[in-house]
């Protein structure tokens, strides 16, 4: 299934081995890792298409479905299940309906999903009309919702997140500082904001590393000096965030920020963490938006000059912030209480069933 701007196979948990090592062996075989093109599997040779979703019926009160997200890469046989993926999350309820784990009963079906990786709770609503009056309901994938980074349009899938602070790290600001100075091996000192409101991120002003923040994906992909600097910062930031040695981890993600240029709130260039993202992840966008609303962060400094969205961070109600990225913009609706605290967040995605069938494992 495609979920948002990501893609990967989905499974009912009962159809996979219960032993984690055996399960991971099956997943890497199906994706075709390790191989740069994943030519012997169904991966797409990129982290965004090297993902998998595992879904089951929940036994928790107030929760309908469990979702385990598995991140793989083309060049290793590692399977990571310690972080979230908001894009693949968009395909969970459609998959659950398609596979018989959930039965729709109205024109719109809402399910509460618990991400097993981190405990993230979300309410997901999909369109489930009747095939004919009084007939069986189905997941509608066609619609007029458009998300940047995905061609065409689809039926909107609304996701509302609750209590996303400290998804992997111990808290939203795990170091306790809105700005942490990190000294590179070269001796250069950069200001960073280390934040986790759904996704552990390291935010850095692009200008502090001698870049504009408006470079193309191709230019950044070929900038080996920049990537070395970012990895140096990432490893040091991981310890400051209480994440330990993150050498083999897919987090924290690295995000260069700059003032917006297309009427949005802030401009971003994301690394996940070593490949350049053609857009930005769902939970990364949520975390950047959160940082933009927190006075004193590097994101607030970059956003304040050109964006009215963050001019009143104490305003009650819902504020929509647009996170600019190489493929366009990502709208995040932040819900705030009278003290300006973020109490929830909503985003819109699309998803699509691409195929179903059998995969033949080695041996």
Question: What is the pLDDT at residue 98?
Answer: 98
pLDDT of 14 strictly over 90: yes
Spatial separation of the C-alpha atoms in residues 297 and 291, rounded to whole Å: 6
User: What is the three-class DSSP state of 29?
Assistant: helix
Question: What is the pLDDT at residue 306?
Answer: 44
Q: Transcribe 202-236 into DSSP letters.
A: EEEEGGGGT--S---HHHHHT-HHHHHHHHHHHHH
Q: CATH topology for 2-165?
A: Diaminopimelate Epimerase; Chain A, domain 1 (3.10.310)
For 331-348, what is the mean pLDDT? 87
What CA–CA distances, in Å, run from 233 to 86, 229, 267?
25, 6, 20
pLDDT of 146 strictly over 50: yes
Q: What percentage of the chain carries pLDDT values higher than 90? A: 88
Q: What are the boundaries of each domain within the chain?
A: 2-165, 180-340
What CA–CA distances, in Å, run from 40 to 77, 80, 306, 315, 353?
13, 20, 48, 53, 22
Query: Which tokens sit at 25?
Result: 């062996």
Query: What's the mean pLDDT when you consider all of the chain?
Result: 94
- In tens, the pLDDT along 246-295 reads 999 999 999 999 999 999 999 999 999 999 999 999 999 999 999 999 99
For 201-209, what is the mean pLDDT? 98
- Residue 202 confidence class, pLDDT cut points 50, 70, 90: very high
Q: Transcribe 108-174 into DSSP letters.
A: EEEEEEEETTT--EEEEEEE--BSSTTS-B-----SSB--TTSSS-B--EEEEEE--BTSSSSSSST
pLDDT of 307 strictly over 70: no
- In tens, the pLDDT along 166-186 reads 999 999 999 999 999 999 999
Question: What is the pLDDT at residue 317?
Answer: 80
Domains 2-165 and 180-340 share a fold: yes
- In tens, the pLDDT along 42-89 reads 999 999 999 999 999 999 999 999 999 999 999 999 999 998 999 999
The number of residues in the chain equals 363
pLDDT of 348 strictly over 90: yes
Phi then psi dihedrals of residue 143, to 5 deg: 180, -170
Residue linked to tokens 């309901």 = 137
- In tens, the pLDDT along 17-50 reads 999 999 999 999 999 999 999 999 999 999 999 9
- Residue 315 confidence class, pLDDT cut points 50, 70, 90: low
Question: What is the pLDDT at residue 316?
Answer: 61
Superfamily name with CATH number, domain 180-340? Diaminopimelate Epimerase; Chain A, domain 1 (3.10.310.10)
Question: What is the pLDDT at residue 309?
Answer: 46
- In tens, the pLDDT along 109-133 reads 999 999 999 999 999 999 999 999 9
């Amino acid at each position: 299934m495609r979920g948002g701007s990501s893609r990967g196979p989905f499974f009912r948990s009962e159809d996979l081995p219960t032993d984690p090592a055996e399960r991971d062996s099956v997943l890497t075989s199906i994706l075709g890792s390790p191989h740069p093109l994943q030519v012997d599997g169904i991966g797409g040779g990129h982290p965004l298409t090297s993902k998998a979703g595992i879904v089951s019926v929940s036994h928790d009160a107030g929760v309908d479905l469990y979702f385990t997200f598995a991140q793989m890469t083309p060049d290793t046989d590692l399977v990571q299940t310690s972080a979230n993926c908001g894009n693949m999350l968009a395909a969970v309820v459609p998959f659950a309906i398609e596979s018989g784990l959930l039965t729709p009963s109205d024109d719109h079906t809402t399910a509460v999903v618990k991400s097993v990786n981190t405990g993230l709770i979300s309410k997901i609503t999909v369109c489930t009309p009747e095939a004919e009056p009084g007939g069986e309901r189905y997941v509608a994938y066609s619609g007029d919702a458009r998300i940047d980074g995905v061609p065409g349009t689809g039926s909107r899938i609304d996701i509302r997140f609750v209590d996303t602070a400290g998804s992997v790290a111990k808290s939203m600001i795990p170091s306790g500082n809105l700005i942490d100075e990190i000294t590179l091996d070269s001796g250069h000192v950069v200001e960073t904001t280390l934040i986790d409101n759904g996704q552990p991120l390291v935010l850095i002003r692009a200008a502090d590393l001698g870049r504009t923040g408006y470079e193309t994906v191709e230019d950044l992909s070929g900038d080996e000096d920049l990537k070395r600097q970012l990895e140096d910062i990432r490893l040091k930031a991981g310890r400051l965030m209480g994440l330990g040695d993150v050498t083999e981890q897919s987090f924290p993600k690295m995000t260069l920020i700059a003032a917006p240029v297309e009427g949005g709130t802030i401009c971003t260039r994301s690394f996940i963490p070593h490949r350049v993202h053609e857009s930005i992840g769902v939970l990364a966008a949520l975390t950047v938006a959160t940082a933009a609303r927190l006075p004193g962060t590097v994101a607030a400094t970059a956003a304040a000059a050109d964006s009215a969205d963050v001019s009143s961070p104490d305003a009650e109600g819902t504020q929509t912030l647009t996170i600019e990225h190489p493929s366009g913009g990502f709208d995040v609706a932040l819900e705030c209480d009278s003290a300006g605290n973020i109490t929830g967040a909503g985003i819109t995605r699309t998803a699509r069933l691409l195929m179903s069938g059998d995969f033949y494992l080695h041996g």
